[in-house]
Structures are given as C-alpha cells and as structure tokens.
Amino acid sequence: SAFATLAFVLSPEFWHQITETRLIEAFLMALFAILASELGDRTFIVTTIMAMRYSRVSVFCGAVSAAVFMISLSVLLGVISSLIPESIAYYLSIFLFVFFGVQMLIEGSLQQLRVRNN
C-alpha cells in the first residue's frame, strides 16, 4: 500500500487536487484532529512503556513505521471510498461499525470471564 500511496502522490491528479483545494487548512485540520485523538490512546501508552524498556531509537523507528503504514492504508481507503457509490460506502461503514462494535463487546465479556476465573 505504500507503493500505491507513493504512486498516487507522484501522479498529476494528486498535484491538481492540491492546487485546487485549501492544502494548509486541510493539513492543519488533520494534524490537530490526529493529535487530539492519539494523545493518551492505547498506542501512545504502549509506545511510552516500550520506550522505557527498550532502545528508544528502535521503538521510535517501529512506531514511525507503523504510523506510516496505517496512514498509507487510511489514505488508500479514503481514495477507494471516493470511487465507490455513496450508498455502498454508507452500508459498508454501518456493517464495519457494527462488526467491530460486536467484536469489542465479545472481547470485553471474555476478559471479564477470565478475570473472574483467576
């Protein structure tokens, strides 16, 4: 997916979109939204704990690599979602939201059972 993202960034279509949109506004909105949502989440906490136990350089490289991969995947999914009909994207998002919500409920219930059994 990193190659697909790179190919898209190098394409004339990408640069045409940048010149016709408010790039700085979109950049700042994305930056602050991600900072606000990531500060204090599980990834942040896990990375902090790992940096206490392992080489900070290795943890930094691993965290940055994971972030680049996830962001590339998000951008790719965003591009794909703009290519499919809105009604399909709507129902697909409902399905995914329900699927992951149910999965989290099941995980939580199983965790409670494990705690009770110990």
pLDDT of 45-57, one tens digit each?
888 899 999 999 9
pLDDT interval class at 69 (50, 70, 90): very high
Best CA proximity match to 8, nearest among 64, 54, 18:
18
pTM over 0.85: no
**Whole-Å CA distances, 29 to 23, 25, 33, 74:** 10, 6, 6, 16
Mean of the pLDDT values across residues 33-60? 86
Best CA proximity match to 5, nearest among 78, 82, 66:
78
Kindly report the average pLDDT of the chain as a whole number: 83
Cβ(4)–Cβ(76) below 8 Å: yes
Cβ(72)–Cβ(1) below 8 Å: yes
Which of residues 18 and 95 earns the better pLDDT score?
95
